[in-house]
Structure 1
Amino acid sequence: MKAGGGRKAYDDINITPMLDLAYVLLVIFILMATASVQGIKVDLPKAGSAASLVAPKTKAITINNSGQIFLDAFPVSIADLEARLRTEKAINPELPIVLKGDSTVQYQKVMEVLDLLRRLDLNKVGLVTGKPGQ
């Protein structure tokens, strides 16, 4: 007769439930760690009216509905615009430009200004648009 009343001794241990528990705990830990980082609320300081010393000054070029070109609200011709932008590029090679064109302006005027910016190798150009419905 076998000792132990005919029962067979366990030779292996089933670790599947323990691994399932470990994976669930790992997922909970990851979710809680990322939620605590993203959920931090801070009262950010307010910037004064002083200009930032690290951000370069953006130049705004505007073309109104009659085709007149403005550089920072001052009327300029295309030749004067080129001269002023060359001077600004000499001071700051990474000069950012914002181009605003009236919706009724001739497309050719906008293309002339964009071509001028390409010739001067000014690559940081943003085109300003309005929000739909305005």
Structure 2
Amino acid sequence: MKVQEDNAPFDDINVTPMLDLAYVLLVIFIIMTTASVQGVKVNLPKASNAPSLAKPQTKAITIAEGGQIYLDAYPVSIEELRTRLGQLKAANPELPVVVKGDTVVQYGKVMEVLELLGQLDITQLGLVTQRLVK
């Protein structure tokens, strides 16, 4: 059995703690980048510099470029939208809703969603636009 002297230099460096730190930083980076994704990205039309009307429990209905409808970033059909909004309206009679339509989406698709909101008697309604840059 060989005994090592107290002043003898180490032959190798233990990199395990450094790898543990790198993995923790990688996990934190992944969590932070995926947490910043909010909803579906659409190209909004321009409007005046009006103040934001969004309320805390506001539901967002997004109509993407291809005509696909999303409720809070989850794709839904028009019937699923009717069902889910009906349930939310029953729980909160003053349900606020905002509609985000892409600039190239067909006007009829936006009107179909607005008609559905009218049928469900949702009166707290807003249309989302981009602010004009002057």
Query: With structure 1 as the length reference, what TM-score do the two structures score?
Result: 0.57
Maintained 8 Å contact 1:61/1:99: yes
1:35-114 pair list within 5 angstroms? 57-114=57-114
Task: Tell me the alpha carbon deviations over residues 8-63 of structure 1, each in whole angstroms, 9 at most, x when there is no partner.
Answer: xxxxxxxxxxxxxxxxxxxxxxxxxxxxxxxxxxxxxxxxxxxxxxx651100000
Amino acid at match of 2:130: G
Following TM superposition, by how much is the alpha carbon of 1:131 offset from its aligned partner in structure 2, in angstroms? 1.6
Count of aligned pairs between the two proteins = 80
Higher relative contact order (CA closer than 8 Å, sequence separation 6+) = 2
**Is there any run of 5+ residues in structure 2 with no aligned partner, and where?**
1-54
Identity %: 60
User: Aligned Cα RMSD in Å?
Assistant: 1.5
Counterpart AA for 1:84: R
CA distance in structure 1 between the aligned counterparts of 2:121 and 2:56, rounded to whole angstroms:
17
Letter in 2 for 1:119: Q
**TM-score when normalising by structure 2:** 0.57
Secondary structure class of the residue paired with 2:93: coil
Q: CA deviation at 1:132?
A: 2.1
More strand as a share of residues? 2
- Aligned twin of 2:120: 120
